Amino acid sequence: MSKSNVAGRHLVGFAMIAAISWQPAANGQERSREAAITLEEARTKALQANPELQAGTAHARALDGALRQSRALPNPDLSFEAEDFGGNLPAEALSQRTLSISERVEWFGKRSARVEAARLERDVAALDLERRRLDIRQEVDRRFALLLVSQQRLGIARENAATASEVRATVSTLVSAGEASPIEETRALGDEALAEIERDGASRDVTLAARSLAQLWGEPSGSALHAEGHLASSAAVPDRGTALADIARLPDLARWDAETARLAAAETQARRQALPDFTLSAGTRSFVGTGQRTWVAGLSLPIPLLTTYSGARSEATARLEKARAEKRAEEVRLRAAYLTSEEGLLHASREVRLLDERVLPNARQVYDALNEGYRRGKFRLLDLLEARRALATARLRLVDALSRLNLALADLSRLTGDGLPSETRGTR
């Protein structure tokens, strides 16, 4: 092999090193135009400004007002009656005027059942709001991890594109000098185009991931966000017995306890609704012309013949049975989700360890050896390009495994109640 050919191959190796060392500076320039955000900052912003949480807070306030209203007593009725006036009555007939006040009296525990149902409905809303807070926190953790993953993939894609561009330029120079085959230039051009496509796709993924994260605090666009932090590379699996006990104390199940109690109170209220309320009245009656006055009193009681509230009782009973079944289904779902996340965490942790300890070092070693050998004229360009692709694939495979590990961590954190204030755990 000629000295010029060996020198040309030296240029390829130096160009690859220069491309990799140049890339972080470009990343730094672009990052300076982005708004950096940490995981804790993202959690705080989402918990303070998430539209769904704001709606849930307003709903809880509305139910608090409904509870106060349920304690209110019925308003009394004031009535005035005039009798025996006008017409063709005899002159000695006296007209009468009656002024009375009446009050409907709820009994059989109707009011207490209504108040209890309203109180429990408020409690259900509070637990639903706490559950939604945990969901938002989990979603922030997941989307933040996906943004970190997208940024790492973009960094790898940029390095690959820069390296492919330098290789193509160097090979083109060698082809022009007659020291390399035009076939190698064609291969280098194709490799450069594929690297640019992957880089553009990775850049778009970063934009979409940043926008998805910003939507959690009500911003329709957040493409300029840059996640500051690191992906977890290892994690300890929680004790399964402790974790499953924590699931039983989550607001996801506690809200069904409150909902079941609320529907039981509603069923009681429906049964008592069939029992009639009575109305008491008292007043005064005056006789026009004589100045005489007397007292009147009354008691009225509806006869429950046409409306027996049997439909309301059946509805309340069926809804209560439905809530009990839904609680069992939710418990099964949460336990299955925990086991799935636990298995995903174990598998991802093992994959990360193998990739980091074996696959990636071997791929780097092969690439470095081929790079050095190509500069010495011992290997073909195709061999070097394949080694570069294998190294890039191993790096991307590690990022994908880290992504699955961190998503599993976010799911397990949600299912074990991390982020839930200790004083609210197990609220009933």
The domains found in the chain, sorted by start residue, are 3-72+106-256+330-424 (1.20.1600.10)
For the residues 396-423, what does the mean pLDDT come to? 84
Confidence of residue 217 (pLDDT cuts 50, 70, 90): very high
pLDDT tens-digit readout, 252-267: 999 999 999 999 888 8
**298 or 175: whose pLDDT is higher?**
298
pTM score: 0.79
Scan for tokens 């979603």, then name that residue: 139
For the residues 61-90, what does the mean pLDDT come to? 85
Residue 14 is predicted with a pLDDT of 40
For the residues 15-39, what does the mean pLDDT come to? 54
Confidence of residue 421 (pLDDT cuts 50, 70, 90): low
pLDDT tens-digit readout, 139-152: 999 999 999 999 99
For residue 415, which of 332, 337, 345 has the smallest C-alpha distance?
337
Using an 8 Å Cβ cutoff, are 279 and 105 in contact? yes
Residue 267 is predicted with a pLDDT of 85
pLDDT tens-digit readout, 360-384: 999 999 988 887 887 677 777 778 7
Q: Where are the alpha helices (DSSP H) in 215-309?
A: 240-248, 251-273
For the residues 37-66, what does the mean pLDDT come to? 93
Determine which helix (DSSP H) or strand (DSSP E) holds 295, and give its type and residue range. strand 292-300
Half-sphere exposure of 114 (CA within 13 A, CB side): 16
The CA angle 294-299-303, to the nearest 5 degrees, is 150
For residue 140, which of 73, 41, 62 has the smallest C-alpha distance?
41
What is the average pLDDT value for the chain, to the nearest integer? 84
Long-range interactions of 294-301: CB distance < 8 A, separation 24+: 296/98, 296/100, 298/100, 298/102, 301/276
Q: 24-38, 71-85, 390-404 — which is least confidently predicted? A: 24-38
pLDDT tens-digit readout, 292-313: 899 999 998 888 777 777 888 8
Confidence of residue 222 (pLDDT cuts 50, 70, 90): low
State how far the Cα of 186 lies from the Cα of 387, in Å rounded to an integer.
Answer: 18
Residue 288 is predicted with a pLDDT of 80
